[in-house]
Structure 1
Amino acid sequence: MPKSFFAILLTAAAPILLTSCSTNNVTVDNSLQKYFDSAGVKGTFGLYDNGQGHFTIYNLNRFRDSAYPPGATFDVLQALIAVQTGVAANENSPLLQPDSAGAEAGSIRLAAAIGKDSLKKWVDSLRYGNKDISEYTDSTHPAGRLAITADEQLGLVKKLYFDQLPFFQRTQKIVRGLFQKEENSNYRIVYKTGEGKNAAGQPTAWIIGWEEENKHPYFFVLNMDSANAQSNVSTLGLQLVKNILGPMGFFAGKK
């Protein structure tokens, strides 16, 4: 990923924007703040309508410019590396299964199996976030000082969905299958959660993934932090995603 998804789109569209004085591919919707306020959290949300090539974004500055620890969403990259290099043979590998000790323990186990040198090579070559895994050891979370923007997260899931990352198609298909999912006859929502802490020590959460209706994908990312140290931010974040998408007409099979 030499550039973030948002940056690539804006670069490609720049001459058109200068000519038309229009930003038709981006809607900054700060009315979505009410959902964050009602949940007692602060954050950003981005939605990409692949069919229309259009973004809907709340809190553009945070979406584009503020980086946060990826938490367990880093396991998306780790799983890709593990399958690609043969560390994990397939989706049934114990390394890719949920860890009873929690997401962080499972992430450490996966990173230890990959090895720091291999992990660093891939993080550097893919330019994942700020690329800083300097604090990684076999007993600490592999993300260390690693931080990534919501913009970059959205680009990652979009490319993963379309087999556009520099991994085998088989590898990307296996990793897509590791995401959590909910579905019925109207829709399918596929997501990965991750938790961490911001500079102030407050709990943060990521929800990244996509929603499909009538075979059309819509990619989303939510990043948030809570002043309540006891809150289950992953559960709260997923509900917040649903609260935002519902009034937009999602989950009814009409998109």
Structure 2
Amino acid sequence: MDILKRFCLLASLCLCAAVALGDASDLSKFFKNTPGAFVLYDLKNDRYLRYNPVRCKQRFTPHSTFKIPNSLIGLETGVIPNADFVIPWDRQQYPPEEAMSEEWNRDHDLRSAIKYSVVWYYRELAKRVGEARMKKMVQALRYGNQDISGGIDRFWLNSSLAISANEQVAFLKRFYAEKLPVSQRSVKIVKDILVLEKTPEYTLSGKTGGGPRGDGKYLGWFVGYLETRGNVYFFATNVDGDNFAAIREPRVTITRQILTNLGYLPH
């Protein structure tokens, strides 16, 4: 009987491994000719799923995905008291012609700045935090390589700071579980402004990021988490493209297709 039980257990483990490997290999169809990586963590089942595991370990500039920790840091240091705190747009310092979107060319609060990914708002926030406090906070958050030497208002924009897809998910897990060295209030505010979609079936939260990679290519990120059916799925996707247009939609589309294919998002 013991032998039979051990055989059944072994067969079950092999089947689970085969399913996991099958899922991983199937993810290639979503990337097609797009170089990239994908990490998913299933909280309830304590299980990871990865596409291109070598690249999942590779660090890249976080671009605007750093707006998540930047928001936390702004709140925690008191530079921003709440999500409605407005920073006036300085037209001379941030000319309209340099904006990625017309939405940037106005005053913003934290809520609208993260929604429209307003780079100037977060550059101003970082300058108000200052190098000493920023360095201390980035290290305390254990965010990527923790290197802010590239300039207080640009170290996350294809500069010194770098993070892998694996590390993005690890950070989001700590953030969601309130295991970061920041207040519950700061976490609650940032969780609120990260919500992208909320339905009776699921809540999708996250942040995109993208820009030049420094080698003639562009990098696109989409990181976040999906709450559904009593479970949470954390994800991080990054892709390469020849220009911003080539990464803008695919970073989100690929992620959504994978989540839908796995049955976590409705068709």
TM-score bracket for the superposition, by shorter chain length = 0.7 to 0.9
Deviation at 1:232, TM superposition (A): 5.4
**Aligned equivalent of 1:12:** none
Supply the distance in 2 between the matched residues of 1:56 and 1:180 (Cα, whole angstroms).
23
Residues 226/142 of structure 1: CA separation in 2 closer, same or farther (3 Å cut):
closer
**Aligned equivalent of 1:172:** 187
Deviation at 1:93, TM superposition (A): 1.5
Question: What root-mean-square deviation, in Å, do the aligned CA atoms of Structure 1 and Structure 2 show?
Answer: 2.6
Other structure's SS at 1:41 match = coil
One of 146, 161, 174 as aligned partner of 2:176: 161
Deviation at 1:86, TM superposition (A): 1.0
The residue correspondences of 1:142-221 to structure 2 (distance < 5 A) are 142-143=156-157, 144-221=159-236
The residue correspondences of 1:224-243 to structure 2 (distance < 5 A) are 224-227=239-242, 229-231=243-245, 233-243=247-257
**Aligned equivalent of 2:259:** 245
Q: Determine if contact 1:107/1:141 at 8 Å carries over to the other structure.
A: no
Q: Determine if contact 1:187/1:211 at 8 Å carries over to the other structure.
A: yes
Q: Determine if contact 1:98/1:106 at 8 Å carries over to the other structure.
A: no
One of 80, 89, 94 as aligned partner of 1:88: 80
Supply the distance in 2 between the matched residues of 1:133 and 1:182 (Cα, whole angstroms).
32
Deviation at 1:235, TM superposition (A): 2.9
**Aligned equivalent of 1:4:** none
With the length of structure 2 as denominator, give the TM-score of the two structures. 0.77
**Aligned equivalent of 2:65:** 73
Supply the distance in 2 between the matched residues of 1:223 and 1:182 (Cα, whole angstroms).
21
What is the letter of the counterpart of residue 73 of structure 1? T
Deviation at 1:106, TM superposition (A): 2.3
Q: Determine if contact 1:69/1:146 at 8 Å carries over to the other structure.
A: yes
Q: State the Cα deviation string for residues 2-58 of structure 1 (Å, max 9, x = none).
A: xxxxxxxxxxxxxxxxxx99996x945132111111xx4211011111000000110
Deviation at 1:101, TM superposition (A): 8.9
Supply the distance in 2 between the matched residues of 1:200 and 1:137 (Cα, whole angstroms).
23
**Aligned equivalent of 2:146:** 131
Supply the distance in 2 between the matched residues of 1:158 and 1:102 (Cα, whole angstroms).
22
**Aligned equivalent of 2:238:** 223
**Aligned equivalent of 1:105:** 120
Q: Determine if contact 2:223/2:236 at 8 Å carries over to the other structure.
A: yes
Supply the distance in 2 between the matched residues of 1:230 and 1:90 (Cα, whole angstroms).
32
Q: Determine if contact 2:221/2:236 at 8 Å carries over to the other structure.
A: yes
Aligned length: 228
**Aligned equivalent of 1:11:** none
Tell me whether 1:57 sits opposite 2:40 in the alignment.
no
Looking at CA atoms only, which structure, 1 or 2, has the larger radius of gyration? 2
Supply the distance in 2 between the matched residues of 1:153 and 1:182 (Cα, whole angstroms).
20
Residues 137/173 of structure 1: CA separation in 2 closer, same or farther (3 Å cut):
closer
**Aligned equivalent of 2:134:** 119
Residues 230/126 of structure 1: CA separation in 2 closer, same or farther (3 Å cut):
closer
Other structure's SS at 2:226 match = strand
**Aligned equivalent of 1:42:** 35
Unpaired runs of 5+ in structure 2?
A: 1-12, 87-108
Residues 127/186 of structure 1: CA separation in 2 closer, same or farther (3 Å cut):
closer
Supply the distance in 1 between the matched residues of 2:66 and 2:208 (Cα, whole angstroms).
10
Q: Determine if contact 1:69/1:196 at 8 Å carries over to the other structure.
A: no
Deviation at 1:180, TM superposition (A): 3.8
One of 25, 31, 35 as aligned partner of 1:30: 25
With the length of structure 1 as denominator, give the TM-score of the two structures. 0.80
Residues 91/232 of structure 1: CA separation in 2 closer, same or farther (3 Å cut):
farther
